[in-house]
Amino acid sequence: MNGGDGIREGIAAFLRGDRSPHERRVFSSRRKQSTDRLLEIPGAKIETIEGKRFLEIERNVDGFMGVDVGDELRSALRRLNASNPESVDRGIRPATGWDLSDLVVLDLETTGFWGCPIFLVGLLLVEKGRLVTQQLVARDYPEEEAILLAASRRLDDRSVLVTMNGKSYDVPCFRDRAVLHRVSHRMGAMPHVDILHPARRRWASVLPNCRLKTLERFMLGIHRTGDVPSSEIPSVYHRFTATGDVGLLRPVLHHSRVDLLTTAMLLARLMSAGGRAAPFGKSSFSRGEALSATVSRRVL
């Protein structure tokens, strides 16, 4: 059995409840210790929905890279709503006519490819008048249902979904896992701005590709540090559930929050001037290397 097969069998055994009494005691002790350490993260708390528990981390978006993201989004929405609809990129049009409080940015982290469990739902939205990020975290595989329930309830209060490549990945993934857990949601019925497609139409001819990190680097001047590559996140989460080592999870939480913030910043770029790529805020973001340390220190 190779390493990947061992991980899959371990997950399957856990979901079947195939643990000895000793293993259950060890797991329970480890779970408490990791939860205590997770609650040391600013904004972290244990939430309950329909009797099911999960971890939530809520953080204010006070400023990112020296930019007030909320103000930039509000200004971009005003410019978009004042534009001639015919001049607006078709991928941005679903955001026309709405306020910032109507939008929600979504980003998922999963344990693999399609069909694999979701362990983190990241949201950027206005809550009680404040722009915040909310990270709904499954501390172990069975808590997936709880974070899907919580996410679906929060989406019910919003009108427009914003993602990066969500039409191909996040929405189908959420839908399939929600079906498995019999969680109802309206994600597929929401107007959806997937910034990947207008970004390609706007910048594909001048950039190497339109992956999120490429857009961050060339359009926002951001170089990430202290991050974990997307391809390594599933194995990192598997190790976290096996060991309870919160240090493994912190870079993943950092990665997720940066994804939400830069997706929002790119959305504002695309909405500005009727969907044309206008300068972002007061900074040209040309000092990527100088700003990279700020990303790792201040995001989580």
Q: What is the mean pLDDT of residues 90-110?
A: 96
Least confident stretch, 58-67, 187-196, 271-280: 271-280
Handedness of CA 209, 215, 218, 222 (dihedral sign): negative
Q: What is the mean pLDDT of residues 166-182?
A: 95
Of all residues in the chain, what percent carry a pLDDT higher than 90? 66
Check pLDDT > 70 for residue 19: no
Of all residues in the chain, what percent carry a pLDDT higher than 70? 80
Q: CA nearest 300: which of 64, 120, 42, 55? A: 42
Check pLDDT > 70 for residue 22: no
The domain total for the chain is 1
Q: Which letter does DSSP use for residue 147 in this model? A: H
Check pLDDT > 80 for residue 293: no
Give me the helix-helix angle, 144-156 and 170-181, nearest 10°.
120
Residue whose pair of structure tokens reads 């790529």 in the numeric block: 277
What's the pTM value of the predicted model, to 2 decimals? 0.84
The Cα–Cα gap between 53 and 142 comes to 10
Check pLDDT > 70 for residue 7: no
Report the CATH number at residue 79. 3.30.420.10
Check pLDDT > 90 for residue 59: yes
Domain range for 58 is 3-298
Nearest-5° angle of CA 110, CA 114, CA 118? 25
